Every structure is written in C-alpha cells, then in structure tokens.
C-alpha cells in the first residue's frame, strides 16, 4: 500500500503548480474515531491521500485472469488560497491492470485530472468517483460498479459484498510504523462476488470471479528508514480472509508488520507488530529494470492458536509495472495463489528505495 501512497503523490506532482503557499494542515489519523458507513466509503478531502483499491481473479473463456482497479485522491497543498476553480487543490488518479498469463506481462492504463468540472469528482457522501470516463460507484444495496481499462481492454464489473466490512488494526486505525502518527484508516471488503464484461480488442466476453477491496486514507508518510513494502490480501476458499504486510528497511528487516485473519464465521484476529513474516521463496529478475522480486514468498502468522503458513505462487512472474512516467515507482503487483485461496501480492522498493 506504500505504492498506492506514492502513486497518489506522484499524480499530484505531475500537474503544474498554481502558486506557492504554506504547507497545509492535513487531517491527522488518530485512534478512537469510529468509522461510519456509508459516509466513510466516500472521500476524505482533509487528508493528504486515499485510495479505493480493488484486486481480484476473473474466470471466463480466456481462462484465469488477474485484475486491479485503483482510484486515488490526493490533496496537493497547491492553490489552497486560490479562488480559481482551476487550482489543483485535489487531484484524482486511477490505474487499471490486467494479468493474463497468455500475454506474459501486465496490460495497464491510467487517468489523471484535477478535481472538478464534472470530469473528475469524488463524493464525500458515499463511494462515487468519476474520472474521465472511468467510474467506481456504490449503489444503495451495497453493490459496486467499476468501469476502467487499459492496453486493449475494458473492465465493466459489478462487485457485490458477501461479507461484512473488515476493520483492520484497532477498529480501522492501522499503524504503519513505530510512531503512533505513522498510521492510516484502513478497512477491507473481502470476498466480493464479481460479474460483468471484459472487452478486449473489440470483443466482449462475460466474466465472473472474486475480488477484494481495500480502503485507506492517511496524511502521514512512513518512517524515514522505510525503503519498501510487501503486502498480501488473500480470499481463502473456506470463506476466510488473510491480510499481511511488512514495512522494510534498507537491510530487508521489518520496521513494522501487521495484518489480520478472519475466519468464515466472522472471528477476527488482528496481528500485532512482529507477528507477521514474509519468508524466502523463489525470486524473479526483471529483464527491464534488473529488480529482483521475491514473487513466491511464504507468509507466516504467529497466532494465539499457533503458527500458520501460506506459500504464495504467482499466476506468472512478470507482473512488474513501471509507473515512473506518472511520477510513481517501479513495483511488482500481481495475482497469486495459495493452497486453498487466491489473491494479490504487492512488492515495492526492490527496483530502488522508495523516497517518501
């Protein structure tokens, strides 16, 4: 999720400035504030950045595919005293990717615009984001509609919750570092039932599958010693949901870890710092960037009931994406399997240390 923070910040940096101003006072992330829905499905413009992040697996005539759709909102700190509607106070950015093993690399696309004029809008009342023809909208029933695309593909999907919201951390307050302010508001909707249409090169094909929504918003960057991030979100076949992350330093040691394990009957265990590990596994070297990624790690959780392990296997190795043209980093983000589940793995800081 560091990658998402950087992409949002990079999107802001990609726009022209509209006059210097003092650094704005971003809203802080502090524990004790209950999340309220549907309000907290919507935008939080007082915070520095936030994202609506959907990953999943699709099945159709073309076999198994991975997909990712992410919308970002960033408060830039630019033009806050400028009354012009053109001042880029808020910027929206979106990214979509399709993982097809027959292609052997990610297909992707992106959009960016300053908020306003009906072209780029993010509602504060509920989940309703529009960006230059792409959209993510939550209906009163809870079902979400997502429309986005990229290189020769368009995804038009309906995503229906089958489980309650999963509040990560302490009732949604999720620490990301040793200082209390290094935190985000974070909740998840796992096991989304997916149906819709995948259009590729002018041909429309029905698809079905399962997906995962992560929602985060924050104003504080990570610890200065952080250089990268590993994250996994897995829908377990038995109805459970696994979240695991670690923030790494320059020597590959964990600066902070976290995650959760929710069983199919709703019992939730939240991992304290130090109870999550990403271990070993096969690596893959990118022929484009030379980065070496641990694409098949084992996730280990030390739960009160004992140790649990899950060995991750990628749908295919080359799921690297270079977002430097839009101000973001090079990172690996792809569909993965485990015995008894499927989800996504995110690896950042392997091509170069993240500069936060």
What's the domain count of the chain?
1
Query: What is the chain's pLDDT, residue by residue, as a tens digit (356 residues)?
Result: 544 554 444 444 444 444 444 556 899 999 999 999 999 999 999 999 999 999 999 998 888 999 999 999 999 876 666 766 666 789 999 999 999 999 999 999 999 998 888 899 999 999 999 999 999 999 999 999 999 999 999 999 999 999 999 999 999 999 999 999 999 999 999 999 999 999 998 899 999 999 999 999 999 868 889 999 999 999 999 999 999 999 999 999 999 999 999 999 999 999 999 999 999 899 999 999 999 999 999 999 999 999 999 999 999 999 998 777 666 778 999 999 999 999 999 999 998 887 65
pLDDT value at residue 83: 66
Q: What is the pLDDT of residue 353?
A: 84
- Asked, for residue 353, whether it belongs to a domain, the answer is no
Q: Could you give the CA distance from residue 40 to residue 126 in angstroms, rounded to a whole number?
A: 7
* In a domain? residue 24: no
Q: What is the CATH number of the domain that holds 318?
A: 2.40.370.10
Residues facing residue 185 across a β-bridge: 173, 217
* Residue 201 counted as domain residue: yes
Is 31 domain-assigned?
no
For residue 227, give the nearest of 184, 185, 256 by alpha carbon: 256
Domain span at residue 290 reads 2-15+38-348
Q: What is the pLDDT of residue 323?
A: 76
**Residue 181, CA distances (Å) to 31, 76, 175, 184 in order:** 10, 20, 8, 8
- Pairing mode of beta strands 241-248, 254-262: antiparallel
The residue to which tokens 């295919």 are assigned:
316
pLDDT at 81: 67
Return the closest-CA partner of residue 56 out of 243, 240, 208.
208
Distance CA 244, CA 342 (A): 14
Q: Is residue 27 part of a domain?
A: no
25 domain residue, yes or no: no
Rounded Cα distance, 4 and 53, in Å: 9
Residue 169 within any structural domain of the chain:
yes
Give Cα 65 to chain centroid, integer Å: 18
Is residue 319 included in any domain, yes or no?
yes
CA distance 48 to 191: 29
């Amino acid at each position: 999720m560091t990658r998402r923070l950087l992409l949002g910040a990079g999107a802001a940096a990609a726009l022209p400035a509209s006059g210097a101003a003092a650094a704005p006072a971003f809203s802080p992330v502090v524990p004790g504030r209950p999340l309220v829905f549907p309000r907290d499905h919507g935008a939080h413009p007082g915070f520095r950045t936030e994202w609506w992040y959907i990953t999943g697996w699709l099945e159709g005539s073309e076999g198994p595919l991975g997909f990712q759709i992410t919308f970002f909102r960033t408060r830039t700190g630019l033009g806050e005293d400028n009354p012009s509607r053109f001042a880029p106070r808020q910027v929206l950015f979106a990214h979509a990717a399709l993982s097809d093993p027959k292609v052997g690399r990610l297909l992707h696309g992106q959009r960016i615009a300053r908020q306003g004029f009906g072209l780029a809008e993010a509602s504060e009342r509920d989940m309703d984001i529009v960006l230059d023809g792409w959209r993510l909208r939550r209906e009163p029933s809870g079902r979400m509609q997502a429309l986005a695309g990229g290189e020769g593909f368009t995804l038009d999907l309906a995503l229906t919750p089958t489980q309650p919201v999963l509040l990560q951390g302490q009732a949604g307050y999720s620490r990301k570092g040793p200082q209390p302010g290094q935190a985000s508001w974070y909740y998840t909707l796992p096991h989304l039932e997916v149906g819709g249409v995948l259009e590729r090169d002018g041909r429309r094909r029905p698809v079905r599958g399962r997906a995962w929504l992560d929602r985060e918003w924050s104003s504080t960057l990570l610890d200065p010693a952080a250089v990268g991030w590993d994250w996994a979100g897995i829908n377990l076949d038995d109805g459970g949901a696994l979240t695991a992350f670690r923030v790494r330093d320059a020597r590959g040691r964990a600066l902070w870890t976290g995650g959760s394990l929710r069983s199919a009957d709703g019992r939730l265990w939240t991992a304290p710092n130090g109870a999550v590990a990403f271990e070993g596994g096969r690596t893959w070297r990118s022929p484009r960037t030379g980065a070496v990624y641990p694409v098949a790690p084992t996730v280990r959780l030390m739960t009160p009931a004992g140790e649990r392990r899950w060995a991750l296997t990628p749908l295919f190795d080359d799921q690297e994406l270079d977002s430097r043209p839009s101000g973001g980093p090079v990172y690996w983000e792809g569909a993965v399997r485990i015995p008894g589940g499927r989800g996504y793995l995110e690896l950042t800081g392997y091509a170069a240390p993240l500069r936060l």
